[in-house]
Amino acid sequence: MTATPSPRMLARASSVLEIDLEAVAANWRALAALVGGPSRCAAVVKADAYGLGAAFVAPALLRAGCERFFVATIAEGTALRRVLKDAEIAVLNGPVASAVPFKAARLVPVLNDLAQLAFWRRFAKGEHRAMLHIDTGMNRLGLPPGELDRLAAEPGLLDGVPLAAILSHLACAEEPDNPINEAQRADFLAALARLPKAPASLAGSSGIYLGPAYHFDFARPGAALYGVNPVPGRPNPMRSVVRLKARILQVRDVDRDRSVGYGAAHRMAHTGRIATIAAGYADGWLRSGSHRGTVGIAGKRAPIVGRISMDLMTVDVSEIDPRAATPGAFADLIDETYGVDEAAAAAGTIGYEILTGIGRRALRIYRGGPG
Ligand SMILES: *Cc1c(COP(=O)(O)O)cnc(C)c1O
249-264 pLDDT, tens digit per residue, is 999 999 999 999 999 9
Backbone angles phi, psi at 357, to 5 degrees: -90, -15
172 plus 117 within the same structural domain: yes
74 plus 108 within the same structural domain: yes
| 14 in a structural domain | no
In angstroms, how far is CA 340 from the centroid of its own chain? 11
Residue 120 near residue 99 (C-beta atoms within 8 A): yes
Residue 10 near residue 363 (C-beta atoms within 8 A): yes
Residue 1 near residue 364 (C-beta atoms within 8 A): yes
Helix 54-64, helix 21-35: angle, nearest 10: 50
CATH number where 68 lies: 3.20.20.10
Catalytic residue among 46, 226, 245, 366, which?
Answer: 46
Element (H, E) at 123: helix 114-124
Backbone angles phi, psi at 48, to 5 degrees: 55, 50
Residue range 5-15: average pLDDT? 92
Structural domain of 173: 36-225
In angstroms, how far is CA 182 from the centroid of its own chain? 25
Q: What sections of 304-350 are H helices per DSSP?
A: 340-346
Judged by DSSP in three states, 27 sits in helix
Residue 275 near residue 250 (C-beta atoms within 8 A): yes
Q: Which residue's CA is the nearest one to ligand 1's atom 15?
A: 92
| 97 in a structural domain | yes
Q: Over pLDDT 70: what percentage of the chain?
A: 99
| 190 in a structural domain | yes
DSSP conformational letter for 219: B
Residue 58 pLDDT greater than 90, yes or no: yes
CA 352/CA 242 separation, integer angstroms? 13
CA 34/CA 358 separation, integer angstroms? 30
pLDDT of residue 38: 95
Model confidence, pTM: 0.96
Residue 291 near residue 305 (C-beta atoms within 8 A): yes
| 231 in a structural domain | no
DSSP conformational letter for 62: H
Number of compact structural domains in the chain: 2
Residue range 187-206: average pLDDT? 98
Sorting pLDDT into bands at 50, 70 and 90, what band is 371?
Answer: very low
253 plus 185 within the same structural domain: no
| 5 in a structural domain | no
Residue 304 pLDDT greater than 80, yes or no: yes
Beta-bridged to residue 250, according to DSSP, are 276
Residue 3 pLDDT greater than 60, yes or no: yes
Residue 207 near residue 214 (C-beta atoms within 8 A): yes
Domain boundary, last residue among 225, 254, 288? 225
| 129 in a structural domain | yes
CA 355/CA 327 separation, integer angstroms? 27
Residue 235 pLDDT greater than 70, yes or no: yes
Residue range 134-160: average pLDDT? 97
214 plus 297 within the same structural domain: no
Atom of ligand 1 lying closest to residue 220 CA = 10
Catalytic residue among 85, 262, 338, 366, which?
Answer: 262
pLDDT of residue 1: 44
From the CA of 242, how far away is ligand 1's center (Å)?
19
From the CA of 71, how far away is ligand 1's center (Å)?
10
360 plus 257 within the same structural domain: yes
Sorting pLDDT into bands at 50, 70 and 90, what band is 354?
Answer: very high
From the CA of 91, how far away is ligand 1's center (Å)?
12
207 plus 279 within the same structural domain: no
Residue 126 pLDDT greater than 90, yes or no: no
Average of per-residue pLDDT values in the chain:
96
From the CA of 272, how far away is ligand 1's center (Å)?
45
Residue range 270-299: average pLDDT? 97
Domain boundary, last residue among 225, 252, 285? 225
Q: Which residue's CA is the nearest one to ligand 1's atom 10?
A: 204
- Report the candidate in 147, 146, 115, 112 with the shortest Cα–Cα distance to residue 131: 112
For 211-224, the pLDDT digits (tens) are 999 999 999 999 99
Sorting pLDDT into bands at 50, 70 and 90, what band is 369?
Answer: confident
Q: Best of 66, 92, 136, 208 to mutate for ligand 1, by most ligand atoms within 8 A of CB?
A: 92
